[in-house]
């Protein structure tokens, strides 16, 4: 059996030191104490989150979906709770020009079966005009409910890139929670899985041991070119799009700039 380096070594550059199983277990057990404390702190935060007050909203506020205008209360699908992701939109852009970060969330939340089983509905809202949104949803193969909130104010419309929670009580609906930025990482399980690996997300902001590989720019792997090379630019597109029927090499994002 050959390995990357057949020479015996205990400290190759950019790799964890090699130890025996017992030494590894001792180090693992020490970290586990802190991991459990982190879990309990998260539980305490969740308990406080459940104690937040709420804001009453207009249940008849109209959104636009595949069947035309619908009242906001319909998004609950008869359930009492609703989680929405608010997906950014670039008017007139082709699929490769739509938001890469929002694709991270939407792609990993294609199936809400476990939310539904707990009595929670899920939907994606976006400011795009419905005809454009419908074409995009079809290209991506998404099956979760999408709605246009064009022209609507917070908290149903307004700023995108948020996860927002709502409660229904009979005919009344309420805002209960909202988060953005890294708060939305809970909807992307790949982040937490990457955080378990030796090299993490491979980004420059990470605190790494000395000698670790140099980090990349934020979100560097969210786009790739036709050859699978990660990177941002006019010849790349959000990575899941390469698996979609009809996805071809690109020479433009179809929108001004490619900020993230």
Residues 154-182: tens digit of each pLDDT: 999 999 999 999 999 999 999 999 999 99
Q: Which residue has the higher pLDDT, 250 or 259?
A: 250
**pTM for this entry:** 0.90
**pLDDT computed for residue 3 by the predictor:** 41
CB count in 10 Å sphere of residue 183? 13
SS (H, E, C) 103-157: HHHHHHCCCCHHHHHCCEEEEEEECCCHHHHHHHHHHHCCCCCEEECCCCCCCCC
Question: Which pairing describes strands 62-65 and 68-71: parallel, antiparallel, or unpaired?
Answer: antiparallel
**pLDDT computed for residue 1 by the predictor:** 39
Residues 175, 164 contacting (CB under 8 angstroms): yes
* Greatest alpha-carbon span in the chain: 70
Split at pLDDT 50, 70, 90, the class of 13 is: low
**pLDDT computed for residue 87 by the predictor:** 98
Sorted by where each starts, the structural domains of the chain and their CATH numbers stand as 55-187 (3.40.30.10)
Q: Distance (Å, rounded) from C-alpha 230 to C-alpha 28?
A: 32
Question: Which pairing describes strands 81-87 and 120-126: parallel, antiparallel, or unpaired?
Answer: parallel
Q: Distance (Å, rounded) from C-alpha 24 to C-alpha 160?
A: 44
Residues 104, 98 contacting (CB under 8 angstroms): no
- Residue 211, class by beta-carbon neighbours within 10 Å (0-12 exposed, 13-18 middle, 19+ buried)? exposed
Question: Look-up: residue for tokens 């070119």?
Answer: 225
Q: Distance (Å, rounded) from C-alpha 189 to C-alpha 206?
A: 18
Tell me the average pLDDT across 46-60. 98
Split at pLDDT 50, 70, 90, the class of 5 is: very low
């Amino acid at each position: 059996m050959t390995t990357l380096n057949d020479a015996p070594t205990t400290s190759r550059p950019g790799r964890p030191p090699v130890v025996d199983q017992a030494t590894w277990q001792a180090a693992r057990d020490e970290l586990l104490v802190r991991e459990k404390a982190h879990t309990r702190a998260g539980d305490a935060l969740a308990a406080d989150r459940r104690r937040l007050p709420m804001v009453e909203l207009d249940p008849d506020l109209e959104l636009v979906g595949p069947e035309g205008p619908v009242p906001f209360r319909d998004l609950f699908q008869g359930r009492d709770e609703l989680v929405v992701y608010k997906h950014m939109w670039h008017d007139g852009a082709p699929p490769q020009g739509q938001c890469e970060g929002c694709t991270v969330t939407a792609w990993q939340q294609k199936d809400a079966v476990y939310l539904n089983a707990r009595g929670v509905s899920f939907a994606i809202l976006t400011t795009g005009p419905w005809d454009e949104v419908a074409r995009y949803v079809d290209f991506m193969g998404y099956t979760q409910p999408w709605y246009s909130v064009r022209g609507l104010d917070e908290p149903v419309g307004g700023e995108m890139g948020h996860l927002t929670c709502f409660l229904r009580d009979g005919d009344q609906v309420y805002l209960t929670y909202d988060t953005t930025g890294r708060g939305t990482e809970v909807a992307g399980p790949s982040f937490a899985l990457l955080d378990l690996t030796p090299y993490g997300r491979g980004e420059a902001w990470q605190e790494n041991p000395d000698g670790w590989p140099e980090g990349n720019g934020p979100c560097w792997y969210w786009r790739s070119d036709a050859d699978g090379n990660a990177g941002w630019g006019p010849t790349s597109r959000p990575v899941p799009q390469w698996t979609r029927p009809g996805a071809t090499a690109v020479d433009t994002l179809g929108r001004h700039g490619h900020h993230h």
